[in-house]
Structure 1
Amino acid sequence: MGAPMRRRIARLIGTKKPSRTGVRTGRRTRAATTTATTTVAAAAVFALGAALLAAPPPAAADPAARAGTTSVTAVSAADPVTDHCQGQCSDILPPGQNGNATLVDILGNRGFGTFPAHASDQLSRYDALVAGQDGLTDAKLTDFFNDSSFGVPADQVESAVSPRADVTITRDKKTGVPHIKGTTRYGTEFGAGYAAAQDRLWMMDLFRHIGRGQLTSFAGGALANQGLEQQFWPAAPYTEAEYEAQVERIRTANGERGELAMADAQAYVDGINAYRQKSKDARNFPGEYVLTGKIDAITNVGEIQPFKITDLIAIASVVGGQFGGGGGGEVKAALSLLAAQKKFGVVAGTEVWESFRQRDDPEAVLTLHDGSRFPYARKPDNPRGTALPDEGSVRAEQLVYDRTGSAVTHAKAPVDAPERLKPAQGIFDDGVLPAGSLNPEKGMSNALLVSGRYTVSGHPIAVFGPQTGYFAPQLLMLQELQGPGISARGASFAGVGMYVQMGRGQDYAWSATSSQQDITDSYAVELCEPDGSAPTSASTHYRYRSVCTPMEKLERTNSWKPTVADSTAAGSYRLQVWRTAYGMVTHRATIGGKPVAYTSLRSTYGHEADSIIGFQMLNDPSYVTDAASFQQAAHRIGYCFNWFYADSRTTAYFNSGMNPVRAAGVDASLPVAAERAYEWQGFDPATYKAAYTPFAEHPRSVGQDYYISWNNKLAKDYDAAGFGFGAVHRGNLLDDRVKKLVAAGGVTRASLTRAMADAALADLRGEQVLPELLRVIRSAPVTDPALNTTVQQLEAWRSARALRKETAQGSHTYGHATAIRVMDAWWPRLVERLYAPVLGDDLYEGLVASLQVDESPAATQGPTGGHSGSAFQYGWWGYVDKDLRQVLGDPVQSPTARTYCGAGEGLDACRDTLLATLKAASVKPASEVYPGDDNCSAGDQWCTDSVIQRPMGGLTHPKISWQNRPTYQQVVEFPSHR
């Protein structure tokens, strides 16, 4: 491509989109618009696209055109599978099903706000529930959700293609979801891969490169791209031979199901590659390949590299690390424990630290509230093998080496601080996926299930789904699979969608939330030198079962150069990690003056794809026939998830995960000495296998009156990894609402959905902690008139359920906006004033490193960042609530070791602290509380909260109102069963 043409494209893609959003096309053509002016402008863009692509496909909404297929016939849903949901199953996945956009589509979207068909047609319906929940009825559910019945009625068929004679992919007019029906198993899975490539080819390519630590070489050296590969590759730095070994192990270690799983995976890959080649030949491939320099727009020279089964393992390692991991953070926990012991002494300091760790707080909201106990990872009475570092000796392991060019410039900024996109920059200067978009600490999915004993129909009802973030396109994609041994509809992660991972079968539905139990430990390995000389902190040998053993060095060298869409200068660097029998080295330190390396050992390491067997079972109608068989299928999934099930008769729950059986006396919350006596039982470093807790020891239940989950604590005695599972948790927002519904009886799909939607707008601080704050403040008259007015505003907001909700849909103005602004300004100031003076700076900062103070929708810090749509998973709300109740003299179970408000000097001193911090917060202007960013002007409260679909490619989407709910969501009620 010549320089003049590059400049023409760069001018378009480097210009911020106009304020109008254009039209979200449905059945109309890609560039359909509503005004003559926009039509003319769009026509000009298409003309440019035609010149660039030489022979572009028709600008049509027909998904068959996207596929580059030649035989397209409209077919009806012949021989439909029996659907026991009978029209009472619904789902939604914003912004839309179509995640592939040609260069023409991208130019039209960037220049004029137009969209390809089905790229943004579920976003407005998802957004509308914010305002529509109050009048919601069962009949109106499909105003906000898709009908997720099996098949496509004949009059709703948009297109049907047969990439092979034994499979047909039918898409419906309303959503463009692929309904894949095969007459053979191979054909069904081939169709799944083909449809996945139609909808997510570019995304799948991104994720296989993220997993392999090669994103910058593939998509450019933007800081965010560097951050992603630096985040994920060190956790799973496999060689190609190790990828292949995982595939072979699945094939041979799981009997017939293992053979079948790998045959399905191969058929899936074959389908991806068939579309990959066809779209390339038809010049109908995703435009990002042109923008990143992979394919020349004029000559069509270039290649989309073929997919392999090992690519699926790489993708699975990213997905599993993002959503199914658990534990870790032991070194940070050790540092805060040492700070507590230094501040208060060993005994008192340990008590203080434990009161923040809250391993088994009796006030914590539980998913299993029937009194059942499932002991796991509990604090031992007499800990053995704990390996705390010497004070001041810990250093994080260096990951990046040999920076050149733009890599040197980027080294000056942290990897979680994205560069700002300026009009003169290309669309990928901020990375193909914005920094901080993917973070293993996210936990946002939720579930609400009610037993048929409390519903109008007498059948169970479930409203549930995973919160996988908001992306364009989504990490998940919808599909229906019908073929020999497969019958399901729902969501699958792009690139590993051989099976539906969360969705519904013929007469049952299932979903998951991240459970975050502890399957990751940190070991302190003693460093040594093979010649017997004294080791240093840089030594690359360690003692493994008394033998001085070399660490294994794993490396990845990446280089990049500018493209038309990424003006980042050329650069390169080398990624390096050291691997031991106890996992990857993460830190170096000394213990008793002797140098050690801390490692991270995860039970799913080397086994990221083993869970394929469980998902295969969940899709098999001959296997899952009831709650018990569902639990057995979920048990085959090694990732840390809470699994929920509903059919016409009962609900059920199971917690999955490869929970290692630890040596007696080991404290899983802190680093452990790397000695055989403290290893996981049955640990074999050659295969990364160990002994795991059996089915009977996993939290599970059938038929509890109701279940809720919002990444909260699971059950009594079952330790949640990390801090923050105490008296106030986001799960309380669901538990309180569902408990009231169950007490009243007569639950319907609409009423349970309303409970979810109401909790989705609630400010956890305002609902759960503000009442105690106000009680302390009102313990005496507030004599300052201005401050009293602020208190009254907070009281009025709390009386209105402390919601962050617009005055009317589209007003972009919150009711009780002043009270919300005050709370956003008050909370971080309040927490610091309550705790820092008593704890001291070192301990306070150490605890904040393990659990951030706040995660309001307006927050830009923390795991989820700004505009993420998730809030109130991580914060000090339970600490403050418990402390205030102690000051007030209320009953408190498991009280904290000290009282902090007012430095423990009583109610009056506590009240003085609250009033002082509230007064300072009340006068803080909105422009400082909401400082603005590239998407919002300073002081714009609604915009700061708003959810933005983070672009994973060339398309951008309008903002929507903040709501704290799953990305993919189902509403189900089965009236019959097989």
Structure 2
Amino acid sequence: MRRWIPRSRNRAARRPRRALTLTALLALGAGLLSPPAAAAGGTPATPAETTTATAAGTGDHCGGQCSDILPPGADGNATLAEILAHRVLGTRPAHSSDQLGPYDGLVAGYPSLTDSGLQEFFNDASFGVPEGQVASVTRPRADVTITRDKKTGVPHIQGTTREGTEFGAGYAAAQDRLWLMDLFRHIGRGELTPFAGGAAGNQELEQQFWPQAPYTEADLRAQIDRIAAAGERGAQAMADAQAYLDGINAYIEKSRKGRYFPGEYVLTGHVDAVTNLGTIEKFQLTDMVALASVIGALFGGGGGGEVESALALLAAQERYGAEKGTEVWESFRQRDDPEAVLTLHGGESFPYAGKPARARGTALPDPGSVTAEPLVHDRQGTAVKDAEAPVTTSPRLRPLRDLHGDGVLPADLFSRQHGMSNALMVSGAHTASGNPVAVFGPQTGYFAPQLLMLQELQGPGISARGASFAGVGMYVQLGRGQDYAWSATSAGQDITDTYAVELCEPDGSAPTTASAHYRNHGACEPMEKLEKRNAWKPSLADSTAKGSYRMQVYRTDYGIVTHRATVDGEPVAFTSLRSTYRHEAESIIGFQMFNDPGYVTDAASFQRAAGHVNYTFNWFYADSRDTAYFNSGTNPVRAEGVDASLPVRAEAAYAWRDFEPRDNTARYTPDAEHPRSVNQDYYISWNNRQAKGYAAAKFGDGSVHRGDLLDSRVKRLVGKGGVTRASLTRAMAEAGVTDLRGEKVLPLLLRAVRGGSVSDPAAAEAVQSLESWVDAGARRKETSAGSRVYGHAEAIRIMDAWWPLLVEAQFAPGLGDGLYDALRAKLPPDEPPSASHGATGGHAGSAFLAGWWSYVDKDLRAVLGEEVRGPLAAEFCGGGDASACRETLLTTLTRAAATPAAQVYPGDEHCEAGDQWCADALVHRPLGGLTHATVNWQNRPTYQQVVEFPGRR
């Protein structure tokens, strides 16, 4: 096993250690030491029970060829004593960080990877725990056993009854993720600040999420009632969910009595360390809906933003005139670009949300009339700055505040685009064994602990191992069954629309944009006002002063009000409506089917199960014979002529077909119209477009996409034949350390620059450096494991500095400031690893999802006279003159070459200014009291499987 070298060099780690006073440590840690294994896990099993519980799981047809990994580790809970010991001594609970080393090690180890060497970087994902590898066996009740293995500590749950199986799943989830689950149920209810403190980031986060799902308790209960009434599977799902919550609550009660609950409850003032008085609220079914709504908002939505799209269109029309401006806007929109990389590459067409031949009902705001709907009211109190915060003890007794800065979660968690996941699958016709091979997994961000947790579930009607979102893990959501495996990537197709509702006054007077009534089927009806009042007080974890505020939104039959404006001089409110609104929890039926060995027996049955998931996901399936793909999501059937990219009038003629506002239901496109396939030669997905005709929901899905990095590599493997698990993993890992701009756009840029002599010495040196980097593969990778220095570091610095300069110089003069800024608001020009983006903000791993690489590529090729399919509607670089364009590139390149590293990589709380490797590196965002080592950047799934089934049932 390769030795793993911890890479923590953040500022906190460099601070001189300060000794805690013994009195402070005892006062806060009294009674909260880690319990004996039996106490933490329930009733210890007898030797006979241990043998039974740890025997290899029945029905396992993977033959040792299924592997997975989820860093940093399985254990995501820590008592107060463990948190304090971590802060003082640097220790961590067992299995809280042991998967980070193997995950990080693949960056250096992938070039020489073999099938037998996969075990160095992945864990065996076989069912059961082998004899001699049992770490603990516990029975929280008579009909379920939880076995944890020595290597990873993953819970293997074996139930003799279905209820017991689900009870055990909940109990194990609470053992591993109780604090995290509590955080997210409060986010889902818009109540993070009362729970975790009033830090600015916490306030911003709940302000971003709550308007997306501002549910009352009745709304949450209505979702449960609908599922329970949805036939036998719905009733079973609610019974499973209740048993799961019963397991969580049993652990809460036991851990309170034993005083080994997560220490964050003490640090946030929920439980007194000395008296043990306080509250850890038990979970209820409505909490499950709140959690599901958070997950759906993060990873399973798509579309929206039509007001901003309309503003970009208006700016284009102002710049170029109505006809030409619309053409320019459409070319940047790139709904169905003919050069885009597609998951289904056989030419199949699945028309959805495309540009109508003649748009009807479009409601463009009058220029300058749009204002965002205010959300926050009655704010009282202010945040105390760190420098002003009273320090009554060592800073190490304020771990959450120190670790979280402005909040326990990144403030832009919901507002940023999220690059979830990738998938690579090759059919058996092109593999060495004749069986399909898959390497796939979700990229859910880097948190400590992870949002996902690993588990194995074995019980009546349930047989699966894999990852589940903490708090809704009654089923494995991504993983493997007895003879098949599955995974997903975020699809993001357009299931969210913006409506312009006509405002009115009930007394017949003239309305204004501030009116709280709207026209609905001819009647002037009141909007429903929903409020959330939040207050907080200081605690050890949060030095924020006492404060409170009120959030307020207006709800209509056409969704939540987001903006107000005038359209043709008449006041309107723009609303946002997504098809999954009021239905976030209903995907539970599809996940139940995935776990049922009696239901999923082949590719076709898996596709049917995936059709019951209403989130927008790309689903991938592999067994010993077949590969399959299916795009899920409740795609509303829009009225003829409606342009899904722009706001539409809130009238029956333009609403979704069969729209019923009371429950937010409509007619949805049937499964046959969703992109789907069986046994294509290979599949790749990295949040790219699915198929021809299936319109992109966001700007910029054109000729260059990070999916190209996977597609080119897997295509070469398939062309050679004999694909193995190792070779497919190597392709994934190599793409994961490659700079998209460097591989796909830089050769064109250099060709343009080399169109004449480069006389300036600095520019010539920069060109040579960049060419060497391209020749070496444009990797962002260390010179050697542990060096913390990139090979071709100068070229990478120049590229990082050059890209934003060249984009602005290439496009801003032609577009004009107004249109350039409007397009940047829809699509940021750049997203390198060192940028703050993704689900965890900075140091997020996922990179190159959204940027102007297609625009630069298409425009340069057009200016150079090369063929372009789906070109931009105008030529921008140098005003369309190749010589002037070349001069623009050289000028910006010279500026970039002179930009010091400290300016390109300005530094943050984790890195010193100018530290290129650290600027890119992965930092697991702490959601509790533990931190983890900083590791290499790699653009890779958080949880990942490598699978190849040699046989089947």
Q: SS in structure 1 opposite 2:584?
A: coil
Cα deviation, residue 535, structure 1: 0.6
SS at match of 1:210: helix
Aligned to 2:256: 280
1:960 aligns with 2:931: no
What are structure 2's unaligned runs of at least 5 residues? 1-9, 387-396
- Residue of structure 2 aligned with 1:183, choices 140, 153, 160: 160
Match of 2:219 among 242, 256, 259: 242
Inter-CA distance 760–47: structure 2 relative to 1 (3 Å threshold):
farther
Instruction: Give the match for residue 651 of structure 2.
Output: 675
Distance 1:894 1:847 in 2: 18
Q: Deviations over 1:593-643 (max 9, x none)?
A: 111000000000000000000000000000000000000000000000000
Q: Residues 325-359 of structure 1, C-alpha deviation per residue, up to 9 Å, x if partnerless?
A: 01001000000000000100000000100010011
Contact between 1:329 and 1:722, CA under 8 Å: does it hold in 2?
Answer: no
User: Is structure 2 residue 144 aligned with structure 1 residue 170?
Assistant: no
Residues 47 and 616 (structure 1 numbering): CA distance in 2 closer, same or farther, change over 3 Å?
farther
Partner of 1:158: 135
Residue 663 (structure 2) aligns with: 687
Would you say 1:647 and 2:623 are equivalent positions?
Answer: yes
Deviations 1:158-178 (A, max 9, x none): 001100100000000000000
* Residue in 2 that maps onto 1:373: 349
Superposition pairs for residues 654-669 of structure 1, below 5 Å?
A: 654-669=630-645
| C-alpha contact (below 8 Å) 1:18/1:113 kept by paired residues | no
Which of these residues, 178, 187, 191, is aligned with residue 214 of structure 1?
191
1:931 aligns with 2:931: no
Q: Does residue 880 in structure 1 map to residue 856 in structure 2? A: yes
Distance 2:107 2:39 in 1: 35
Aligned residue for 2:111, secondary structure, equals coil
**Contact 2:56 2:129 (8 Å CA) reproduced:** no
In structure 1, what is the equivalent of residue 238 of structure 2? 262
What amino acid sits opposite 1:281 in the alignment?
Answer: K
Is residue 61 of structure 2 the alignment partner of residue 66 of structure 1? no
Report the aligned-residue RMSD.
1.9
Residue equivalent to 1:18? 13
Aligned partners of 1:55, 1:188: CA distance in 2, in Å?
31
Query: Does 2:910 match 1:915?
Result: no
Matches within 5 A, 1:345-384: 345-384=321-360
Measure how far apart 1:80 and its partner are. Answer: 2.7
Identify if the C-alpha distance between structure 1 residues 58 and 398 changes in structure 2 by more than 3 Å, giving closer, same or farther: closer
Aligned partner of 2:697: which letter?
A
Partner of 1:433: 409
CA distance in 2, matches of 1:119, 1:127: 15
Matched position secondary structure for 2:341? coil
Cα distance per residue 1:804-858 (max 9 Å; x no partner): 0000111000000000000000000100011110000000000000000000011
Alignment partners' CA distance in 1, 2:446 and 2:520: 44
Counterpart-to-counterpart distance in 2, 1:16 and 1:767: 34
- State the alpha-carbon separation in 1 of the partners of residues 42 and 133 from structure 2: 22
The correspondence for 2:605, drawn from 629, 644, 659, is 629
Measured after TM superposition, the shift of residue 592 of structure 1 is 1.3
Instruction: Kindly indicate whether the alpha-carbon contact (under 8 Å) linking 2:35 and 2:260 is maintained by their aligned counterparts in 1.
Output: no
Deviation for aligned residue 1:436: 2.6
Return the alpha-carbon distance in structure 2 between the equivalents of residues 331 and 239 of structure 1.
Answer: 27
Aligned CA distance change for structure 1 residues 507 and 310 (closer, same or farther; 3 Å): same
Aligned residues: 931
- Map 1:454-465 onto structure 2 (within 5 A): 454-465=430-441
Aligned to 1:131: 108
Amino acid at match of 2:908: D
Q: Which consecutive unaligned segments of at least 5 residues does structure 1 have?
A: 1-14, 22-37, 411-420
**How far apart are the structure 2 equivalents of 1:425 and 1:441?**
26
- Separation in 2, partners of 1:422, 1:438: 27
CA deviation map 1:92-148 (0-9, x unaligned): 000001000100111111222211010000001100000000110000101000100
Q: In structure 2, what residue type is equivalent to 1:933? A: D
Q: Deviations over 1:486-524 (max 9, x none)?
A: 000000000000100000000000000000100000000
Cα offset for 1:456? 0.4
* Residue correspondence of structure 1 range 190-205 to structure 2 within 5 A: 190-205=167-182
Partner of 2:389: none
Q: Deviation digits for residues 507-562 of structure 1, max 9, x if unmatched?
A: 00000000010000000001000000011111000001111110000000000010
Residue type matched to 1:931 in 2?
P
- For the 8 Å contact 2:780–2:796, the answer to whether it is kept is yes
Aligned to 2:121: 144
Q: What is the CA-CA distance between 1:687 and the residue it aligns to?
A: 1.0
Q: How do residues 485-524 of structure 1 correspond to structure 2 at under 5 angstroms? A: 485-524=461-500
Q: Within the alignment, does 1:545 sit opposite 2:521 as a pair?
A: yes
What secondary structure does 2:562 align onto?
A: strand
Residue type matched to 2:183 in 1? L
Matches within 5 A, 1:565-644: 565-644=541-620
2:81–2:263: 8 Å Cα contact kept in structure 1? yes
- The 3 A distance-change label for structure 1 pair 498 and 712 is same
**Any residues of structure 2 matched to 1:256-405 within 5 Å, and which?**
256-405=232-381
Q: Which residue of structure 1 aligns with residue 4 of structure 2?
A: none
Counterpart residue identity of residue 869, structure 1: G
CA contact (8 A) 1:20 1:113 kept: no
Contact 2:418–2:838 under 8 Å retained in 1: no
Superimposed CA distance per residue, residues 890-948 of structure 1 (whole angstroms, 9 cap, x where no aligned partner): 111111111111111x2111100000000001000001000001111100000000000
- 2:83 is aligned, of 84, 106, 128, to 106
Specify the alignment match of 1:11 in structure 2.
none
**Separation (CA, whole Å) in 2 of partners of 1:289 and 1:515:** 37
Contact 1:852 1:862 in 2 (8 A): no
SS in 1 for 2:741: helix
Alpha-carbon distance in 1 for matches of 2:838, 2:476: 31
Say whether 1:736 aligns with 2:712: yes
Cα 1:779/1:399, change in 2 over 3 Å: same
Distance 1:383 1:307, change over 3 A: same
The aligned counterpart of 1:34 is none
2:885 partner amino acid: C
For 2:780 and 2:39, how far apart are their aligned partners in 1? 43
Deviation at 1:564, TM superposition (A): 1.0
Residues in 2 aligned to 1:317 and 1:72: alpha-carbon distance in whole angstroms = 41
Shift in alpha-carbon separation, 1:453–1:138, aligned structure 2, 3 A: same
Displacement after TM superposition at 1:441 (Å): 2.1
Residue 485 of structure 2 aligns with an amino acid whose one-letter code is A
* Aligned-partner residue type, residue 910 of structure 1: C
Compared with structure 1, are the counterparts of its residues 20 and 128 closer, same or farther at alpha carbon in structure 2 (3 Å cutoff)?
A: farther
Aligned to 1:30: none
SS in 2 for 1:406: coil
Render the CA deviation track for 1:10-63: whole Å, top value 9, x for unaligned: xxxxx9743499xxxxxxxxxxxxxxxx9xx99x89996555343344576x4x
Contact 2:384/2:543 (<8 A) preserved: no
Percent identical pairs in the alignment equals: 68
Match for residue 233 of structure 1? 210
Amino acid at match of 1:938: A
- Tell me, what secondary structure is at the counterpart of 1:134? helix
Q: What TM-score does the superposition give when structure 2 sets the normalisation length?
A: 0.96
Q: Is the 1:524–1:597 contact (alpha carbons within 8 Å) kept by the matching residues of 2? A: yes
- Over 3 Å counting, the alpha-carbon distance change for 1:542 and 1:771 in structure 2 is same
- State the match for 2:534 in structure 1: 558
The alpha-carbon distance between structure 1 residues 581 and 901, as it changes in their structure 2 partners (threshold 3 A), is same
Distance 1:887 1:429, change over 3 A: closer
Give matches, 1:25-104, under 5 Å: 49-58=25-34, 62=37, 64-67=38-41, 69=43, 74-75=50-51, 76-78=53-55, 80-104=57-81
Letter in 2 for 1:947: L
SS in 2 for 1:524: strand
Report the AA paired with residue 555 of structure 1. E
